[in-house]
Structure 1
Amino acid sequence: MLMGQMHHSSKLPLLDEETTGQLNLLQGLVHAETGICTEPDLYVRQRGACAVSRESGHVVFGPGGVAEFDTLFNLFSLGKWQHHCGLTDIRLVLIGEGTFELRVTQAIADSSHERVYNELITFQPDEPFELDISGIPSIANGGVLFFELRSLGIGRLKSANWMTAQAPVRTPEIAVVITTFRREEAVRKAVDRFRHYLASSSIGEHVHVIVVDNGKSAGIEADQYVSPMDNENLGGSGGFARGLIEARRRGATHTLFMDDEAKIHMSSIERTWTFLAYAKDERTAIAGALARATDKWALWENGATFLAKCNRLFGDVDMRNFHHLLSMEAESIGVPWNFYGGWWYFAFPTACVEHPPFPFFVRGDDVSFSLANGFRMTTLPGVITFQDADFTDKITPLTEYLDLRSHMVHHLSLPSMDIGALRTVKIAAWFFARAMCYCRYETLEALNLAIEDVMEGPDFFARNADIARRRADIKALTKAEGYSQHDGAMPPRTPDADDAGRWTVLLMKFTLNGHLLPFFRAFATRKVLLAGEQAMLCRIWGAKHAIYLNRVENTSISVSHSKSRAFRQSRRMVRNGLRFIRCYGRLRQDWQAGYRRIATDDYWERTLKLGERPSP
């Protein structure tokens, strides 16, 4: 039965298992926030006489003003709540002033929308209006819910919450683990935001922040909300492994891994905590989405899969478009078998971790962590991180070295990922061919080091968890491919119209961008590109020289075509590939046994010299 009524209790407790007849908050409104994201159509769509006060969080209306909440942060993913949490009772509770037409819509992908409520309502002063839509027959079909308000006069919406009378399954105790390395200002700001939030949040006593300081320089003070700890610099792998050990010592039921540079609305923490409280399966884990740095309305990914390469899911989706959001929610209710969550935001049940992070240092540790542990993963709308720089801005010989070796190790060490010798070595061949097309010969040398280190076996990784030796080696060989201060005025970017035509592109693909073509330099072009275009092959075809500009930091790199350098590294890669194929059977056995031996708390406690000290 559909009920719309004034609810005379203004106290709406959050997830009180002992209370019956009370409503528990599932999801509240989120508004734009300076410093995080201010793209208006990700929060509320305003038409006519409608304005949002960011200070109060109120939506203010004049006659005829309309506010629609079919947005990334404010639609309600009914299908996911039903699928993962068994939700059957759902209410919309509003507080406001004035008279409105209230419309509540259920949207299901590839189907007509269902208007489940459409009535005039008049708010009474500070009295919640409660709408119970649980009895609508179509509600069982899932999809998403959203509401809109059309004002008949002067009015305002003070708050809007999706709520339930159902009791939660558990009370999560979440340890938020932030690993940082010499990003003092960023991590201090993040910690201050957490302190402010937890001090006033109803879940504050159930969330604790652990800051693992690999640089031993952040100077974070300990208090009831935050525990800082200095750590050896063993990368993200070592930092998050340390944080996981501390989370276990604190008795955390769930752990949330986060980057120090990741920016989130604090509502993400509340939504994560609430969803985990209601999840039927104790293995439930939540992977946060990631927005592009340059265009915050565009997704970098909403989770990803791994098979020979990392495949971003829903990459570049325009999150302002409701139909894109609807399709994404429908397609992401269940995730593929090879799904993984990035460590910019990944919440998981602590007790379900069989294998802590493997010592990759960085790059690939989050992939193997998801694949090696039996989590039941999902994503949630509005649980998203905003980054300072896209991954394409961070391509260096070192990052390519780290990426290739982790890609190969995943397929060697995890039985479910075994694809055979030829397909595994093709991963290295693809990395190599791509770098050659970009004229990145220092990267070619680093890629050869990567495959050679993989063939050294898992104990090489265990002994070199800090990769100090390889970082020094790659730093020494990196001369042209490291960003440095750009001298003089920055040249204009080469326009897209100057890119190679169809037949030239085909020729460049077959000749590895001219490396197999005689006299290529005689007719090749020069290009000036942006840092974010480093991974765009379409922009580099036919170029013998390229400059990549980072206009924000006023830095650049410059690369030039060289057949002799390409040939030297190609010969070395062929030798490495043949050796890898010959040794594949032994390597696979060594890696599978080594992964089980090394990805353990015992390994990390010995390596980090933690001993058996109690948690603070």
Structure 2
Amino acid sequence: MSAADGTTAWATIQRVILPSADQPDTVSLYADAGTASGIRLRENDELARTPKLPEDKLQMFSSGSQQAHFEDLLTRHSMRVRSGEQISFGTYFNAFAASYWRRWTSVRDIRLAVRTSGTGTVTVYKSNARGSVQRVDGVHVDGDTTSLFELSLKPFGDGGWYWFDLAASADGLVLESAQWETAGTDRPKGQVTLEITTMNKPDFCLNNARILADNPDVLENVKEILIVDQGTQKVEDQEGFAAVRDALGGKLRIINQANLGGSGGFARGMFEAVENGSDYALLLDDDIVVEPESIVRLLTFADHCRKPTIVGGHMFDLYNRSVLHTFGEVVDPYRIVPALPHADMETRHDFSVANLRQTPWLHRRVDVDYNGWWMCLIPTKVIQEIGLSLPLFIKWDDAEYGLRAREAGFATVSMPGAAVWHVSWIDKDDLVGWQAYFHARNRLITTLIHSPYPKGGRVLRESFQSDVKHLVSMQYFTEHGHIDALRDLLKGPDDLHKVLGTKLPEINALKADYPDAQLKEDVDDFPAPKIGRGPMGGTVVGLPSKKQLIPWGIKTVARQLIKAPGPESTERPQGYLAHRDNRWYRVAHYDSVVVSNAEGTGASWYQRDPKKLKSMLTEATRLHLQLFREWDKLAQQYRSAVAEISSFDAWKKTFEANSKDGD
């Protein structure tokens, strides 16, 4: 689009931002001086000959500057660069992910506008998919200056970023603002319904609503902020709610409904976004801290995509905020488990240790199968075509939806520079306890619907192996959930909506029958172990080798079936195990042991029971054999049912049957 005088009219597609005043531990995600401008090769032609070089062939190039100072951050968009220092915006939140715009949008040319006051230099850099750094342009600035750099996206086919650095002269330099721009279009900006699903986390939920209220500029194209409250501790009852509601200017709406899990809450958000005429539904988890600028970035990127595209944000660790938990996920089609898109990727990358410019794998574009629903923008055109979430309560709903969308021709993009902070998986253990039912059932449902392999590839084998591991680990409550999952799976898809609001109470009612499900806050609440009663004389037990694994498993199961537990096993444990030591091959040697949980909030007493082991192992074996025999018939049933159970009509009936307070 051109202005009236024939010149190009530019529209902002990404603003440079800085951390809020309450997050000094996130500075490295926004601006840093770092210790290197990149990882480069000692010989320019060596990369072509050696795909992966040893460490002694890599060399760090120091920028010679100091660490960024938190006190130099002036506003969310401006900062001071001290005399003689250099600050880089080649960071997670402020570098421009050129390869993503090149791959998924029609944008081919952009402009960087940097407004400064004071004296110094502005230097623009770019990288390629290998992480090699190149200087693009630079200017000297003096006084109040706006520096403009017109840049092409054509070289970024497989990866690469743009960014800029500031260097201050003797009098210092101030970044007043900066933004990445593209030629404007006449297409209106999309409108989004921002939906948060919550269950008894009203403090988190209200905090995010407050963050949104404090950043009204990011809400310009938010039609509605919807909180689907499924808990007993209501967000509306929190101190300060009225003030936040008023600050949001009528955009906030609360829907109270029975606990239908994440899938029930997020399906409600999708449903309401279509009903109110929004172009997008933005799904947010409740136990997060959101970077509000991410909302604008996801929406802007989605608006520029060539066709409707699901666009998601990344997840940083809430308790270690410079750590990126994952950069993108795919589903391993043979095993139906989350996997990394390529072998070079790291999980839990810490930007305070190695910045973007020092980390080559971050420069390769990552293409994904799905994005977690901690932050995920879904076009309502996609929802109208493929339906809402499956009624799975929790677990696998986001991955299944991404796979379903991909099969219908809609891609998912995990967009760098858009993120939330969330409790990472290392601080949870949702493969045991009440969540195990949903993990087991929903993974198998996803496999039945989407697996391209006969009998689901490795999934049935791994499912049975998981049963054996839980049983030899004395996790009988977890195994009860697995067995129920198999039984319910074999019934077919017709009851999925019916049990959505009732299954969790049924599972929780079983806890009283299983010591391993009964959590106590203090290990001193359990009897003290007798000295020297631990297995193997206290020797640390390691994982059996692949060659030894089957004989070890047979021997262990046989021993646990035949040999009665020691007479004291129900009176006092043989020892305590920290959660990180709670491994099936280690716990299997105990008759009785107290184990702490992943959250660090308590511990449970595991007690070996040969009768439970025998009955559960027999039933798990029978159910897996039945599932193997009926696999093809079940797969057809579930695939045929997807359109109906994810439909607006089916979900509307479920919402009406589980409404509260007139909603």
TM-score by length of 1: 0.84
Would the alpha carbon gap of residues 297 and 316 (structure 1) be closer, same or farther in structure 2, given more than 3 Å must change? farther
- Aligned match of 1:309: 336
- Aligned match of 1:38: 25
Match of 1:515 among 535, 542, 556: 556
**For residues 134 and 114 of structure 2, what CA distance do their matches in structure 1 show?**
21
Match of 2:125 among 101, 105, 112: 105
Check if 1:529 corresponds to 2:589.
no
**For residues 155 and 443 of structure 1, what CA distance do their matches in structure 2 show?**
60
- Aligned match of 1:328: 362
- Aligned match of 1:555: 602
When the two chains are superposed, the root-mean-square deviation of aligned CA atoms in Å is 3.7
**For residues 423 and 362 of structure 1, what CA distance do their matches in structure 2 show?**
23
- Aligned match of 1:352: 382
**For residues 169 and 140 of structure 1, what CA distance do their matches in structure 2 show?**
26
- Aligned match of 2:428: 393
Q: Secondary structure of the residue that 1:67 maps to in structure 2?
A: strand
- Aligned match of 1:211: 227
Would the alpha carbon gap of residues 196 and 323 (structure 1) be closer, same or farther in structure 2, given more than 3 Å must change? closer
Deviates more, 1:208-217 or 1:246-255: 208-217
C-alpha displacement of 1:455: 0.4
**For residues 19 and 317 of structure 1, what CA distance do their matches in structure 2 show?**
49
| 1:58-97 aligned within 5 A | 58-97=78-117
Would the alpha carbon gap of residues 103 and 260 (structure 1) be closer, same or farther in structure 2, given more than 3 Å must change? same
- Aligned match of 2:173: 155
Deviates more, 1:164-173 or 1:31-40: 31-40
C-alpha displacement of 1:547: 3.9
- Aligned match of 2:491: 456
Q: Given that residues 114 and 147 in structure 2 are in contact (C-alpha distance below 8 angstroms), is that contact kept between their aligned partners in structure 1?
A: yes
C-alpha displacement of 1:563: 4.7
> C-alpha deviations, 1:264-321, integer Å up to 9, x for none?
210110111111121112x211122222344333333233222333324345241413
- Aligned match of 2:298: 272
C-alpha displacement of 1:171: 1.3
Q: Given that residues 112 and 180 in structure 2 are in contact (C-alpha distance below 8 angstroms), is that contact kept between their aligned partners in structure 1?
A: yes
Deviates more, 1:503-512 or 1:577-586: 503-512
In the alignment, residue 399 of structure 2 is paired with which amino acid?
A: V
Would the alpha carbon gap of residues 111 and 404 (structure 1) be closer, same or farther in structure 2, given more than 3 Å must change? closer
**For residues 599 and 17 of structure 1, what CA distance do their matches in structure 2 show?**
48
- Aligned match of 1:184: 202
In the alignment, residue 411 of structure 1 is paired with which amino acid?
A: T
- How many positions carry a matched residue from both structures? 581
> C-alpha deviations, 1:223-254, integer Å up to 9, x for none?
53212112232212222222212111111111
**For residues 572 and 603 of structure 1, what CA distance do their matches in structure 2 show?**
33
**For residues 21 and 473 of structure 2, what CA distance do their matches in structure 1 show?**
38
C-alpha displacement of 1:34: 5.7
- Aligned match of 1:341: 371
Check if 1:372 corresponds to 2:404.
yes
- Aligned match of 1:435: 470
Q: Given that residues 302 and 379 in structure 1 are in contact (C-alpha distance below 8 angstroms), is that contact kept between their aligned partners in structure 2?
A: yes
Would the alpha carbon gap of residues 471 and 141 (structure 1) be closer, same or farther in structure 2, given more than 3 Å must change? closer
| 1:133-282 aligned within 5 A | 133-134=151-152, 143-153=160-170, 154-167=172-185, 169-198=187-216, 200-201=217-218, 203-215=219-231, 217-219=234-236, 223-281=249-307
Q: Secondary structure of the residue that 1:275 maps to in structure 2?
A: helix
Q: Given that residues 81 and 166 in structure 2 are in contact (C-alpha distance below 8 angstroms), is that contact kept between their aligned partners in structure 1?
A: no
- Aligned match of 1:4: none
Q: Given that residues 195 and 269 in structure 2 are in contact (C-alpha distance below 8 angstroms), is that contact kept between their aligned partners in structure 1?
A: yes
**For residues 400 and 514 of structure 1, what CA distance do their matches in structure 2 show?**
26
**For residues 516 and 205 of structure 1, what CA distance do their matches in structure 2 show?**
59
Gaps of 5+ in 1: 1-12
**For residues 288 and 137 of structure 1, what CA distance do their matches in structure 2 show?**
24
**For residues 423 and 463 of structure 1, what CA distance do their matches in structure 2 show?**
30
Deviates more, 1:300-309 or 1:440-449: 300-309
- Aligned match of 2:619: 572
Q: Given that residues 122 and 167 in structure 2 are in contact (C-alpha distance below 8 angstroms), is that contact kept between their aligned partners in structure 1?
A: yes
C-alpha displacement of 1:437: 5.0
In the alignment, residue 235 of structure 2 is paired with which amino acid?
A: A
C-alpha displacement of 1:49: 7.8
In the alignment, residue 483 of structure 1 is paired with which amino acid?
A: L
In the alignment, residue 45 of structure 1 is paired with which amino acid?
A: D
**For residues 479 and 394 of structure 1, what CA distance do their matches in structure 2 show?**
18
C-alpha displacement of 1:511: 2.3
- Aligned match of 1:363: 395
> C-alpha deviations, 1:126-148, integer Å up to 9, x for none?
x42222234x9857886111111
Q: Given that residues 317 and 421 in structure 2 are in contact (C-alpha distance below 8 angstroms), is that contact kept between their aligned partners in structure 1?
A: yes
Q: Secondary structure of the residue that 1:464 maps to in structure 2?
A: coil
Gaps of 5+ in 2: 34-64, 529-533, 567-572
Q: Secondary structure of the residue that 1:31 maps to in structure 2?
A: coil
**For residues 5 and 521 of structure 2, what CA distance do their matches in structure 1 show?**
61
Would the alpha carbon gap of residues 117 and 547 (structure 1) be closer, same or farther in structure 2, given more than 3 Å must change? farther
Q: Given that residues 101 and 119 in structure 1 are in contact (C-alpha distance below 8 angstroms), is that contact kept between their aligned partners in structure 2?
A: yes
**For residues 35 and 482 of structure 1, what CA distance do their matches in structure 2 show?**
38
Deviates more, 1:35-44 or 1:247-256: 35-44
In the alignment, residue 27 of structure 1 is paired with which amino acid?
A: Q
Q: Given that residues 98 and 155 in structure 1 are in contact (C-alpha distance below 8 angstroms), is that contact kept between their aligned partners in structure 2?
A: yes
**For residues 359 and 215 of structure 1, what CA distance do their matches in structure 2 show?**
18
- Aligned match of 2:438: 402
Q: Secondary structure of the residue that 1:156 maps to in structure 2?
A: strand
**For residues 179 and 17 of structure 1, what CA distance do their matches in structure 2 show?**
46
- Aligned match of 2:16: 29
- Aligned match of 1:6: none
**For residues 33 and 597 of structure 1, what CA distance do their matches in structure 2 show?**
45
Q: Given that residues 362 and 402 in structure 1 are in contact (C-alpha distance below 8 angstroms), is that contact kept between their aligned partners in structure 2?
A: yes
- Aligned match of 2:37: none
**For residues 111 and 552 of structure 1, what CA distance do their matches in structure 2 show?**
37
**For residues 458 and 196 of structure 1, what CA distance do their matches in structure 2 show?**
44
Would the alpha carbon gap of residues 603 and 157 (structure 1) be closer, same or farther in structure 2, given more than 3 Å must change? same
**For residues 113 and 204 of structure 1, what CA distance do their matches in structure 2 show?**
36
TM-score by length of 2: 0.78
Q: Given that residues 300 and 316 in structure 1 are in contact (C-alpha distance below 8 angstroms), is that contact kept between their aligned partners in structure 2?
A: yes
**For residues 457 and 429 of structure 2, what CA distance do their matches in structure 1 show?**
29
- Aligned match of 1:10: none
Deviates more, 1:555-564 or 1:88-97: 555-564
Q: Given that residues 404 and 447 in structure 1 are in contact (C-alpha distance below 8 angstroms), is that contact kept between their aligned partners in structure 2?
A: yes
